Amino acid sequence: MQKISLSTRQREVLVDITSSVQEALRQTGISSGICVLYCPHTTAAITINEGADPSVAHDMVMGLRRLIPGNWDFTHMEGNSDAHIKASLIGPSVTVIIDVGRPVVGTWQMIFFCEFDGPRKREFFVRVQPGEKTG
Amino acid sequence: MQKISLSTRQREVLVDITSSVQEALRQTGISSGICVLYCPHTTAAITINEGADPSVAHDMVMGLRRLIPGNWDFTHMEGNSDAHIKASLIGPSVTVIIDVGRPVVGTWQMIFFCEFDGPRKREFFVRVQPGEKTG
Amino acid sequence: MQKISLSTRQREVLVDITSSVQEALRQTGISSGICVLYCPHTTAAITINEGADPSVAHDMVMGLRRLIPGNWDFTHMEGNSDAHIKASLIGPSVTVIIDVGRPVVGTWQMIFFCEFDGPRKREFFVRVQPGEKTG
């Protein structure tokens, strides 16, 4: 398992982690299998979405804020229940298929660390599971 | 890894892909392990929900449209930011357990490809990871 | 694959299943790999979020109810379409990384079975996939 650190610079922001994941995969030397990405934080998450146009990430952050505003009648005293809900809606883990030594993502897909209660120092975990030998 | 193609016929629709997944699994000959289903598109997703009554899929499409309407103050010029957000809320991948040669889903569960910006030609990927031999 | 049963006592409630998952993992004797948790129900789900302060789980239940109320113009006659939508938003499965014999979750993270249409008798499945031997 590999741990990758990052720093987020706003309260809510999507950070492109695609190249970190590719590098972690490369270090394992595994060319076929699956790759589990895991977020150990309760106000952050991991997703995959369009990375070509940065306005998509912007609209996701804005849309999620509009969906779950911070001013609902929450009881958690830290005042970040909106971030906890967003974290579970997006989800703590994503699994990507590995083939020919690369994550098999779509043309427009990038992997994003979703910060919902930053800025903070964060980390995520990468675990590559080798698949059946086919050679 | 197997690629399965499909065509969606409406802007927003859930397409039952259960039998395609079962057939892909059968072709691997793997009877125990896990099966990762992955959607390489940024305005579509994969989920598992009730398939017995088609009104559930209908209500999911309607409910998600009401949750995130297309007319919010989005900046992405393609005009489909609602579909991108829905894709990340549902998620790009689902992992199913394989036991005795079959996906272990619940009585009422079917696997759905979730189209949020169709109609389009789409595809999804299936990767079966064998489990530990127990024999 | 292991099946774990539980009973939920309210319509909407998050039940901490962390220790059941840890015990299931212990029984496999597998110290490195991944663990797939799967919910075979269509009005329930599995997530990971903060468990230290129970008000977070309370706020999640309340926030999701406010997000998708039961009184929208649904067609499914059972009257629980809100629960079906919540189930797909949270998702039917979560994958956790196993390292040194333990699920590698964050300091504040606990694993929750999310009931959206209880009270009911429920179950979830645990499948541990061993990783590559590194010794």
Contact status of A29 with chain B (Cβ, < 8 Å): no
Position A133 pLDDT exceeds 80: no
C42, B106: Cβ pair inside 8 Å? Answer: yes
Contact status of B70 with chain A (Cβ, < 8 Å): no
Contact predicate C92/B94, CB 8 Å:
yes
How confident is the model over C114-126, as pLDDT tens digits? 999 999 999 999 9
Angle between helices B81-90 and B54-67 (to 10 degrees): 120
Against chain A, the chains showing at least 3 CB pairs within 8 Å are B, C
Within 13 A of B58's CA, how many CA atoms are on the CB side? 10
pLDDT of residue C135: 41
pLDDT category at B135 given cuts 50, 70, 90 is very low
**DSSP symbol at C132:** -
The stretch C90-115 carries a mean pLDDT of 97
From chain A, the residues in CB contact with B42 under 8 A are: 48-50, 56, 106, 108-109
- The CA-atom distances, in angstroms, between C54 and each of C14, C57, C64, C98, C105 are 10, 6, 16, 26, 18
What is chain A's mean pLDDT, rounded? 96
How confident is the model over A5-23, as pLDDT tens digits? 999 999 999 999 999 999 9
**DSSP symbol at C71:** T
Is ipTM beyond 0.90?
Answer: yes
pLDDT of residue B133: 58
The stretch C45-71 carries a mean pLDDT of 97
How confident is the model over A66-78, as pLDDT tens digits? 999 999 999 998 9
How far is the C-alpha of B37 from the C-alpha of B21, rounded, in Å? 8
Position A134 pLDDT exceeds 60: no
Output the DSSP codes for chain B: -EEEEEE--SSSEEEE-HHHHHHHHHHHT--SEEEEEE---SSEEEEEEE-SSHHHHHHHHHHHHHHS-TTSS---TTS-HHHHHHHHHH-SEEEEEEETTEE---TTEEEEEEESS-S-EEEEEEEEEE-----
Reported pTM: 0.97
How far is the C-alpha of A48 from the C-alpha of C2, rounded, in Å? 30
Closest CA of chain C from B87, distance in Å:
10
Check the CA dihedral A77-A123-B93-B132 and report its sign.
negative
Choice among A46-55, A125-134, B88-97 with the minimum mean pLDDT:
A125-134
pLDDT of residue A5: 98
Neighbours of C100 (CB within 10 A): 8
How confident is the model over B6-46, as pLDDT tens digits? 999 999 999 999 999 999 999 999 999 999 999 999 999 99
The stretch C87-103 carries a mean pLDDT of 97
Task: Name the residue in chain C with its Cα closest to that of A77.
Answer: C55
Contact status of B69 with chain C (Cβ, < 8 Å): no
Position C134 pLDDT exceeds 80: no
A42, C97: Cβ pair inside 8 Å? Answer: no
Contact predicate C35/C95, CB 8 Å:
yes
Closest CA of chain A from C57, distance in Å:
9
The stretch C61-73 carries a mean pLDDT of 96
Q: In what order do the strands lie in the sheet with C13-16?
A: C13-16, C109-115, C44-50
CATH architecture for residues A16-130: Sandwich (2.60)
By the 10 Å C-beta count (0-12 exposed, 13-18 middle, 19+ buried), A11 is classed as middle
pLDDT of residue C133: 58
- The CA-atom distances, in angstroms, between A71 and each of A65, A83, B51, C100 are 11, 12, 36, 41
Domain boundaries, chain C: 16-130
